[in-house]
Chain A
């Protein structure tokens, strides 16, 4: 059974930093791309960042580029999100997501968000 367990959330002051971790089990971690997706009360779900199975390729939403860093340790089966220069707009529940094997249709191939963790709550407030 696939399990994704986030940790590291909490209350942080504006301008502060936080590192989220996601412990993965139930699948061969290094074989799959992973992402972070956040949910805010006002804006719903927002993809934050993703990286390849090897960790060599990383991707970021414009809203976090330059402030957040995604990484992984394939020996520890753990995904990370280092968040710096946090602002109120970053307050959200952050989900760790397994992108699965993907699929191909219409001549193109796509990722999908197969498995989600329960999320870690990040509250940026003074």
Chain B
């Protein structure tokens, strides 16, 4: 199992707002910022969001990140078919002294 917990799947119709959650503990998300990666089929993973809510240059503003305690979320507003991918959260873990990932959430655009 992954150190960070994500729902295995999420879905939405084009134009909807979709939210993906990521939870952890005081050793990781509770004390360190979270990054979000997008992994499209056949492509290399891509960093979208860092420091909880900062978009990497060139990332569409439809993607946003937020935090509430030891849970963080990635929101995609106006979801499009091109957003179909697996989304991973990641953070540093102070107990493991290593970066850790969530298990990934597969987003399906219906």
Contacts and interface: CB of A to CB of B under 8 A. Distances in A.
Contact of B101 (A46, A114, A115): A46
Contacts of A118: 43-44
B88 A116 contact: no
B88 A44 contact: yes
Interface residues of A, number: 26
A112 B104 contact: no
Interface stretch (B11-19, B46-54, B68-76, B77-85): B46-54
Nearest to B91: A110
B44 A45 contact: no
Contacts of B1: 43
A19 B24 CA distance: 34
B21 interface: no
B99 interface: yes
A85 B71 CA distance: 38
Contact of B44 (A44, A95, A110): A95
A44 B98 contact: no
Contacts of A108: 32
A44 B50 contact: no
6 contacts: A45-B45, A105-B33, A106-B33, A114-B47, A115-B44, A117-B44
